[in-house]
Amino acid sequence: MARARTGPEPQYLKVKNHLREGIARGHWVAGDLLPSEAALSLEFGLSRMTVNRALRELHQEGLVQRVQGVGSFVAQLERISATLTVRDVHEEIQQRGHRHEARVHRLTSVAASPAQAALLDVAPGQTLFHSLIVHMENGVVIQCEERLVNPQCAPDYLAQDFTRTTPTHYLLQVAPLSEARWSIESTLPSAQEARLLHIERSEPCLVLRRTTYSRGLAVTWVKLTHPGSRYFLQGSFQA
């Protein structure tokens, strides 16, 4: 997807880069007023629409603050944002050129406890699917995946072979993703998790919890537990 144009650099990108570099070099600092669309149109000899696109995209990227009737300003970068991408384990491991294996420790239906019911926003006692799967990279356990699934959204969940596909992959096919809420924390593993991950109960774990919604319904809740010594998240932020 990276831009692979053969032709010359688009004009709107020239404007974007001009402003981006000016900001990066400190020519304009946070809070400064940038040239207006009209001024940039003249300076670059472009139509206003083209300049507008450059400024609009910088705004979408959070680098520029725009106020109708006033002007465009360099944004206060008090927050540092980055895109956190949570990939499907299978895909992530394969991309590293490694071998992925999964062991299904549990795949059953349960009557929702009050706590479980709250996670998926259903009534206590309602039937839910519950799975517990351990994922291995080249034979080493790196993730323990405990999951609750709303049967309404994926009635055939229990019939899947999760040594051949992953719950994430299956559920995304069955129920198009519309929203997700997640959290990341650091905790000690439960006795069961320690056993499944082959670690001591004293080894810290990176835990990712996520609830996924489709068409306004909570489809699934998942807790992904990783040994802290074998897993971390990373990313970068540009501009």
Tell me the DSSP string of 132-191. Answer: EEEEEETTEEEEEEEEEE-TTT-TTGGG--TTTS-HHHHHHHHS---EEEEEEEEEPPPH
Residue 148 or 205 having the CB closest to a copy of itself: 205
Does residue 3 sit in helix, strand or coil? coil
Minimum Å distance from CB 139 to a copy of itself? Answer: 22
φ, ψ dihedrals at 6, nearest 5°: -90, -35
Q: Which does 10 bind (CB under 5 to 8 A by kind): a copy of itself, DNA, none?
A: DNA
Q: Pairing state of beta strands 179-187 and 71-74?
A: unpaired
Residues that bind DNA (CB under 7 A): 5-7, 10-13, 34, 36-39, 45-50, 52-53, 55-56, 59, 66-72
Name the residue nearer to DNA (CB basis): 67 or 191. 67
Closer by beta carbon to a copy of itself, 78 or else 139: 78
Task: State the binding partner of 169 from a copy of itself, DNA, none, CB within 5 to 8 A by kind.
Answer: a copy of itself
Q: Which does 103 bind (CB under 5 to 8 A by kind): DNA, a copy of itself, none?
A: none
Q: How far apart are the first and last CA of the chain?
A: 19
Q: Pick between residue 151 and residue 228 the one whose CB is nearest to a copy of itself.
A: 228
